[in-house]
Structure 1
Amino acid sequence: MSGATDSPVEDYGAESIKVLRGLDAVRKRPGMYIGDTEDGSGLHHMVYEVVDNAIDEALAGYCDLIEVVLNPDGSIRVSDNGRGVPTDIHEEEGVSAAEVIMTRLHSGGKFDHNSYKVSGGLHGVGVSVVNALSDWLEMTVWRDGKAHAIRFESGDATDPLAPVGDAEGRTGTEITFLPSPKVFSRLEFDYATLEHRLRELAFLNSGTRIRLTDARGVETESKEFHYQGGVAAFVGFLDRANAPLHTPPITMRGERDGVVVDLAMQWNESYHENVLCFTNNIFQRDGGTHLAALRAALTRTVNHYMASNGGARREKVAPSGDDVREGLTCVLSVKLGDPKFSSQTKDKLVSSEVRPAVEGEVGERLGAWFEEHPGEARRIVAKIVEAAAAREAARRARDLTRRKGALDVSNLPGKLADCQERDPAKAELFLVEGDSAGGSAKQGRDRRTQAVLPLRGKILNVERARIDKVLSSQEIGTLITALGAGVGREDFAIDKIRYRKVIIMTDADIDGAHIRTLLLTFFYRQMPEVIQAGYLYIAQPPLYKVKRGASEVYLKDDDELETYLIDTGLENAVLVLADGEGAERGGEDLRALVAQAQRVRALLTAVGRRYNQALVEQAAILGALNAELLAAGAAAGEVARYLARRMDGLSRPHERGWRGEPTDDGGLELARELRGVRERHTIDGVLVRSAEARRLDEIAGELQAVYEKRCRLRRKDTDIAINSPTALLESVLGLGRKGITMQRYKGLGEMNPEQLWETTLDPDARSLLQVKVGQGDEANSLFERLMGDEVQPRREFISGNALRVANLDISPAFLTMVTACVAPRRSIRQERTEKRIGNTVEARDAAGERLGATRRAALSGRQGASRRLPDAPHRAARRSYRRADHDHSEECGLARAAPWREGRKRNRATAAGGGGDGASAAGCCAWGRSRRRQLWSPWPRSRCGSRAICPIRAP
């Protein structure tokens, strides 16, 4: 140490100790207070902190309406009709109580039991943390007949709390805040995430109305959650995709030693447990003392009931706690004055006084319910006994397979290509679809660290199977053996897993997606610890290979493809502006314009199908999406007429005639009459006031400078007229497509080992998605609906979300493919008919005048029928061919009703005796006989042996 004279250790002294005062500690370490700031969970936790304060008012009996509004500018507003935050001066701090609450950590009205007997906010850091992590925050308080307002920026008050008017009989608090981009990587609130949490709160606080509104889009989306059934209605909602064993749910509510227990439970026919625990309306994802008490009381009560009724002796089984909870959906809510949690995120309850209250309430009420409902109790006990029997069967199957070595790690499955590495942290297992992809993966992998396990076909859907059936599946048994960690709650040990990266690698088609879903279902139900530990991944193989000259590039998805095409299209390209000076934009300036065009396209896509996107785009270029401008009557009329003139200028001569007028709601209407049909398009006030229109209006000046007059995109010999951002983008993409060869991969088997290594296996070049579970009950409900036995919930889910999917399986190309598969013979007929028509024309020319006028008329009729085939009904087409065939048979000298054999004999006799047109008949029938030895034809034989059309071929 003495020799290290320049060591930074010598600079460590009292001046190195930093004291973070006020809200600085929150800004320095936000994860300690709200969780992860990268994945969006911390962002939504800010909203929950504010909403929890409003819920506390509801718990105290002063609030019954809470509103949450997502504003177009990215901020969020939370309001309630409670008592309102105190506005008088705090004696110790010398500022208003509202400012103290927002700027001082560990300040609030929940540290004693006078203001709030039950509360979710306990540490006094909730709303102050929201203020610290926001760019700005505005609070309005209605209290004591006055409305007070205060604004904070970066956590500091810009001005003291001041009255801004009369409350007019209203009470409550409203907080609007904008999260800081310096803290959060993701700033967009997810409507579904907020909906999930607010629905929970509405269930847990029966009678409280919670309204969620999303005002960010063109159309405002609003939902109100108001439930009178409480936790029983919550259980019914969670169990909507399962068939219950009893209705209604078992409910119990009581208070013991200051702890209020509110519980509802229901058994169903599924095989999985779904128990949600809440403390003062806050969900504990890690459970705690209330969950442990519930499980203990359930097992004890059920076993006591079975013993007293002889069920256990009769069935000769001893149910475990897992058997009792199989198929159980339960919501447990406890409320107490001073709960203790493991952290500020409140994911686990550690209050010891909760356990005796929950155990006593559940044991007493559930035992009484069993006695009062013997029929339902027998069904529940039968399911529990069946679960215990299945568990015993699974245990025996495991023991048997262990003795045979099937589940022993030392006896790995034969098709597993294992790696050399024995350290699980460095080893990877790829689960691939089929032997074709498995072969390429085995040859292309790094044998030191990468193992490959091909799975044959589609594995068992474990959502519909018990553990004994799961273990009897050969593919699942192979997977369990390869992982080496066991299976089931009793035998699974995450520390014994042989690979810390389990990578699902399936094809980019429907079957591949199905296999991936089945594997995700297996891991979620049978090995959830693998997901929780972050060991499960999904490979992202490239979707495209683009070849340009001698270079090849692999592109992961459509976004990467577009980026590549833009980069290629911008090479040596310039945009010549029509500003009178011929100014050019190239290089980075042109790239910035294309990036702006991509943003414009995204905004126009968000506008939706209700509006003409080309018209909206031209209105944005003219600055006609300004709400203030359209609110003025004279100016709005001039804007509408100017937009109509611009649309005329961009239209072809016969498509002009646009007329523009303002609308009463502050929008525009353009109309024209085209080919006698009146065409009308509206940009209504809803669109003009939307977030998308505001963003387009913000860049209206930049758009006008480039696109108000028609400019030109030039590269070498290419010159393209440009009149809008999307036209620029599409033209650049078109230039990028020139000279390239693009291949879209459907399956991994299409790649050779070298390509698979370069794109998917190489750790330095590949892209992986890590599988995580967000809301546990939502994930559980999703698996039940999509993978369970009940068809109706799945049908409703598909129909309700079909329009939100960008790439539906039922696309025009897919419908074309289905049509071809359903009626392939029709296309074959058409193709062969056209071919024979050509042969007929050639034969007719070769035969010359021997056929005569009748022969030509027959052929003409047959050709007409052939040409009408695509549009004519199937039977009508066949009748037309038969009529043509009948005419031809008469020409050959056959009787109308003569069968084939008689006609052949008569034809031969006529040819030998010289009667009739012998050359014609002989040539025709000889051709008919030779056709029998050729390929099958879908059309019926003619009476002279030919197939529908029987041309006489030239010698």
Structure 2
Amino acid sequence: MFKKHNMFVCDPKNNEKNDDGYGSSNITVLEGLEAVRKRPGMYIGNTGTVGLHHLIYEVVDNSIDEFLAGHGSQIDITLHLDGSVTVSDNARGIPVDKHPSGKSALEVVMTVLHAGGKFDNEIYKTSGGLHGVGASVVNALSSYCRVEVKKNGGVYEQEYKCGIPVFSVRKIGDTTHHGTTTTFKPDVTIFQETTEFSFDFLSGRLRELSFLNKGICIRLIDEIKDKTQEFKYEGGLVSFVEYLNRSKVVIHPKPIYMNTEKEETVIEIALQWNDSYSESVYSYANNINTAEGGAHLTGLRAALTRVINQLASGDKGVQNLKEGLSPEDIREGLTGVVHVKLRDPQFEGQTKNKLANSRIRTLVESSLNEKLSDYFHEHPDVAKKIVAKIVDAARARIAARKAKELTRRKSALDLGGLPGKIADCQDRDPANCELFIVEGDSAGGSAKQGRDRKTQAVLPLKGKILNVEKATTDKMLSNQEIRLLVQALGTGIGRHDSEVDIAKLRYHKIVIMTDADVDGAHIRTLLLTFFYRQMKEVIKRGHLYIAQPPLYKYKKQKTERYLKDDSELEKFLVETAMQDASILDGNEKTLEMSVVKNMLICVERRNKITSILSRRRSSVAVNYLVSHALLTPEIFYKKADFEKLISEMKLHVLKYGHIHAKVDFDSEHNRYHAIIDIQLAGKPYHFKLDFDFVSSTEFEELKRLTVQLESTFALPLKYSHDKKSRVITSWVELREFLLADGRSGAYIQRYKGLGEMNSEQLWETTMQPSSRQLLQVTIEDAMAADDIFSMLMGDDVPPRKEFIESNALNVRNLDA
């Protein structure tokens, strides 16, 4: 894969190897997209969840840049069952004419690094994509990629495998439309951690883009979960801030908004204070989320400090404050967004987390100074409310500092004076120490007895801790459970990272260990809220974890087994029923157990795909289509054969319900499709039977699995164990039988609480480092985290009710 070239050396006779074993033959030159596949982290940050989703963002950002240039109004992102993604827009379409290199411009864009229209400031004046690597990087990191372009009256396509074109760009039809459709499937050899896209993860970023580009419509479609969400906001940043504050009580009804242009730079800012104690200010440059801020955010903060101090200088409340106002006081409860659009933005790294253009600070600061001063002069009532909020914040800060000092004087981290509460560990090296925060005295007692006393400390909490979302620091420190937790950790608390001394953290692994019921989930949420709002640095440094105790205990005679979840339980039940058993095919041939297991995996996979495809199409239609031997992608180009298929399908479905089908012609691709409406048991199904569905990876796999299950071995099967035997008609029936047989005579306990385990069981399943499973808490999307904590833990009921109603159907194992 990697081409090696000899380099010039002083002694041409010795250019293969030098005396030290390091010569020119060791120098590797990566050509084309090889560098991307070899070092993907340089281009997308990492190959984990963040990097995986970054692939979609790269393609979507290209469509957004078209919108900024005045072309296109719609972007659709579709998550397919096979793990592939399609991003489609109605913009101008990537050029397909011949490039000076001799290749089509489309192939150059998709296969050559640092190639694109964004180096020409006349085409994209304010593009976020600077390096010309977005599309080509996505292509390089995908096992399969296909681009379809509608442009100049034609439809053009090209396919790639691992970034290499399968064929030259070709015309496949005629059209009056325009736009680009890109379908790609991340390469599992690159993204080994996961290739599963998250609907919620994507929703946050796509919602941002719709706010930042008012008027654009972005649709996210998840075929796996059968979910669709549309984002379109005409209010822009004003709507953005209102959305972020929807779960909070605002100080003034309308956000403060400014939009100005200086030196070919567009500066857009929206600000609104609320009665919370957190600052939520987000920065963007050319639609790119600069999570680490940069010059534009620094300019905004500097202008805020200056204007508010001038505004509040005559206020009596401020005059009575000996310490004056701090920048943190001014930004407490502030929700804001700053978005700058500029030529040639300079980011730190390809992932563009921080804006580095130094001139932007001056432009933002001077613009906001002028506009904000004018606004407060024109709206004195709003200015008065904001100043009053800031004065309250300053008083609370001073009171909180005094409360912290009082707490330190009283306890000084002397945990020896807290008998029966925390059971500390013997080791004094924080890197070796773990703290288990346990719900209740019962589980706490088991944890204390079962722990490794050298490295594991246990802190049992009594009941539910205070909800800190709306609590002041002095109120928090008056809460016994929170005070005990703060004393145990030793870092201090605060909503700003500067207030938390992470170097004093006494345990580098903090594990939240609560029951698997509703109360346990509530306590876990309260604790997560506390850490996110008061010790965010603990999460950022990777010190916070959630214990994953087993959900089930299986017991039958002398066999005992702890099982993590339903999937693991089913797998164990099948394997248990197969022990010492034999499976014979229809020819009385005994099958090897490894072969049987593979066939059962095929059953599970087939059931999953059928279930998902049947949501919109009905199981009757899906099973018929899968079993139809003539249903191949080629049939959509043959009118008579396709109409015959539809007629036969109608006759089949009429046995179970009603069906209406209409055949249409797709002139863009020169093929036929059918619009199908089915009514079965009062439930309607509406879908399109077309080339894309039948040629999709999931439908092809479903057909393959069906053939494999029906044709690989002669049926029926025969199950034999000891003196009992049973004839089984199919592999699907075999799996159902094995699940039932595995349960027969067994005691399966579903744990609701850690207190149901004795100390030995708790150690073995949840605390022992060699066998336990811990879930690390991370902040991959700070905005989404802030929003969800405000919604679930704040005072505003309607957004929380809406969230619960929209997610109620996804709940599993909800205890009464």
Judge same fold: TM > 0.5, yes or no.
Answer: yes
Contact 1:413 1:482 in 2 (8 A): no
Structure 2 residue aligned with 1:127: 135
1:537 alignment partner, one of 525, 545, 550: 545
Following superposition, the deviation at residue 98 of structure 1 comes to 2.7
Once the two structures are superposed, the pairs formed by residues 653-802 of structure 1 within 5 Å of their partners are 664=661, 695-705=701-711, 710-802=716-808
Describe how 1:568-647 pairs up with structure 2 within 5 A: 568-577=576-585, 579=586, 581-606=587-612, 622=627
1:618/1:71 CA distance change after superposition, 3 Å: closer
Task: Show the counterpart of 1:929.
Answer: none
Report the counterpart of residue 115 of structure 1 in structure 2. 123
Shift in alpha-carbon separation, 1:465–1:659, aligned structure 2, 3 A: closer
Matched, 1:77 2:50: no
What are the residue-to-residue correspondences of 1:540-579 with 2, within 5 Å? 540-577=548-585, 579=586
Separation (CA, whole Å) in 1 of partners of 2:761 and 2:270: 55
- Residue type of the partner of 2:328? D
Aligned to 1:182: 189
Q: Greater shift after overlay, 516-525 or 80-89?
A: 80-89
**For the Cα contact (< 8 Å) 1:625–1:693, is it kept in 2?**
no
Cα deviation code 1:749-799 (max 9, x no counterpart): 222222221111110011100111232211111111111111121111111
Structure 1: distance between partners of 2:154 and 2:604: 48
1:637 Cα deviation after fit: 6.9
**In the alignment, what sits opposite 2:360?**
354
Find the residue that maps to 2:749 and give its secondary structure: strand
Cα distance in 1 between the residues matched to 2:574 and 2:82 = 30
Deviation at 1:536, TM superposition (A): 0.5
CA contact (8 A) 1:139 1:174 kept: yes
> 1:758 is aligned with what amino acid?
E
CA deviation string 1:230-282 (max 9, x = no partner): 11111111111112111211001112233321010111122211111100000
1:429 is matched with 435
Q: Which structure 2 residues correspond to residues 94-105 of structure 1 after superposition, within 5 A?
A: 94-105=102-113
The Cα shift of 1:330 comes to 0.6
Counterpart of 2:203 (choices 195, 198, 212) is 195
Deviations 1:39-85 (A, max 9, x none): x2212211111111222222222333333333455432323333333
In 2 relative to 1, CA 313–10 (structure 1 residues): closer, same or farther, beyond 3 Å? same
Distance of aligned partners of 1:463 and 1:708 in 2 relative to their CA distance in 1, 3 Å threshold: farther
- Give the partner amino acid of 2:574: I
CA contact under 8 A between 2:50 and 2:780: conserved in structure 1? no
Asked if 1 retains the 8 angstrom alpha-carbon contact of 2:646 and 2:661, the reply is no
Counterpart of 2:537 in 1: which secondary structure? helix
> C-alpha displacement at 1:684, in angstroms?
7.0
Task: Summarize the Cα distance change of 1:527–1:696 in structure 2 as closer, same or farther, 3 Å threshold.
Answer: same
Distance 1:636 1:346, change over 3 A: closer
Using the size of structure 2 for normalisation, the TM-score is: 0.88
SS at match of 2:131: coil
Report 1:382-461 matches (<5 A): 382-407=388-413, 415-461=421-467
For residues 659 and 82 of structure 1, the distance between their equivalents in structure 2, rounded to whole angstroms, comes to 44
Residues 619 and 625 in structure 1, CA contact (< 8 A), matched pair in contact too: no
Q: Does 1:17 align with 2:17?
A: no
Tell me how far 1:427 sits from its aligned partner: 1.1
Q: Does 1:42 align with 2:51?
A: yes
Instruction: Give secondary structure in 1 for the equivalent of 2:576.
Output: helix
1:64 to 66, 70, 73: 73
CA–CA distance in 2 between the matches of 1:757 and 1:520?
24
The verdict on how the C-alpha distance between 1:87 and 1:317 changes in structure 2, with shifts beyond 3 A counting, is same
Partner of 1:254: 260
1: CA distance between counterparts of 2:678 and 2:117? Answer: 55
Distance 1:207 1:597, change over 3 A: same
SS of the aligned residue for 1:353 comes to helix
SS at match of 2:399: helix
The answer to whether the 8 A contact 2:218-2:232 is kept is yes
Residue 638 to residue 294, structure 1, CA distance change in 2 (3 Å): closer
CA distance in 1, matches of 2:686, 2:366: 62
Map residues 467-506 of structure 1 onto 2, 5 A cutoff. 467-488=473-494, 489=496, 490-506=498-514
Q: C-alpha displacement at 1:681, in angstroms? A: 8.5
Q: Distance in 1 between matches of 2:78 and 2:554?
A: 45
Q: CA deviation at 1:159?
A: 3.4
Residue type at the aligned position of 2:51: G
Is the 8 Å Cα contact of residues 602 and 705 (structure 2) preserved in structure 1? no
- Look up the match of 2:813: 807
Going from structure 1 to structure 2, the CA distance change for 1:774 and 1:421 (only over 3 Å counts) comes to same
- Give the letter aligned to residue 54 of structure 1: S
What is the alpha-carbon distance in structure 2 between the residues aligned to residue 294 and residue 130 of structure 1? 34
1:288 to 286, 291, 294: 294
Pick one of 43, 49, 57 that aligns with 1:33: 43
In structure 2, C-alpha distance between the alignment counterparts of 1:624 and 1:682, rounded to whole Å = 26
Counterparts in 2 of 1:223 and 1:437: CA distance versus 1, 3 Å: closer
Residue 285 (structure 2) aligns with: 279
Q: Do the aligned residues in 1 keep the contact of 2:296 with 2:355 (CA within 8 Å)?
A: yes
Q: Is the 8 A contact 2:551 2:564 kept in 1?
A: yes
Counterpart of 2:180 in structure 1 is 173
* Cα distance in 1 for residues equivalent to 2:749 and 2:159: 56
Aligned partner letter, 2:102? G
Q: CA deviation at 1:174?
A: 3.1
Q: Tell me if structure 2 keeps the 8 A contact 1:151–1:159.
A: yes
Contact 1:66 1:81 survives alignment (8 Å): yes
1:138 aligned residue: 146
Matches within 5 A, 1:300-315: 300-314=306-320
- Deviation at residue 559 of structure 1 after TM alignment: 2.1
Moved more, 296-305 or 594-603: 594-603
Letter aligned with residue 57 of structure 2: Y
Q: In 2, are the aligned partners of 1:636 and 1:662 still within 8 Å (CA)?
A: no
Q: 1:333 and 1:264, CA in 2 relative to 1: closer, same or farther beyond 3 A? A: same
Spell out, residue by residue over 1:466-513, the C-alpha distance to the aligned partner (whole angstroms, 9 max, x if none). Answer: 222112211111111111111113431112211111000111222111
Shift of the 725–610 alpha-carbon distance from structure 1 to 2, 3 Å rule, reads farther
Q: Is the 8 A contact 1:720 1:731 kept in 2?
A: no
Cα RMSD (Å) of the superposition? 3.2
- Give distance in 2, aligned partners of 1:573 and 1:621: 32
Q: 1:292 to 1:9 in 2, by over 3 A?
A: farther
- Distance apart, 1:432 and its partner CA: 0.6
Deviation at 1:803, TM superposition (A): 1.2
Q: How does 1:840-879 map to 2 (within 5 A)?
A: none
- Please give the per-residue CA displacement for 1:124-180, whole angstroms capped at 9, x wherever unaligned: 211111121122323333444554433332212333334445553x44433332222
- Which ranges in structure 2 are unaligned for 5 or more consecutive residues? 1-16, 663-673
Which is richer in strand? Answer: 2
CA offset digits 1:626-653 (Å, max 9, x no partner): 5889985666777788899xxxxxxxxx
Q: Distance in 2 between matches of 1:554 and 1:582?
A: 36
TM-score by length of 1: 0.75
Q: Which residue of 1 aligns with 2:235?
A: 229
- Corresponding residue pairs, total: 776
Matched-pair contact (CA < 8 Å) for 1:612–1:681: no
Q: Give CA-to-partner distance per residue, 1:170-191, whole Å, 9 cap, x none.
A: 4443333222222123333333
Please state how far the C-alpha of 1:463 moved relative to its aligned partner.
Answer: 0.8
Match of 1:263 among 242, 260, 269: 269
Matches of 1:730 and 1:48, distance apart in 2: 42
Report the AA paired with residue 200 of structure 2: A
1:509 aligns to what?
Answer: 517
Paired residues of 2:617 and 2:685 also in contact (CA < 8 A):
yes
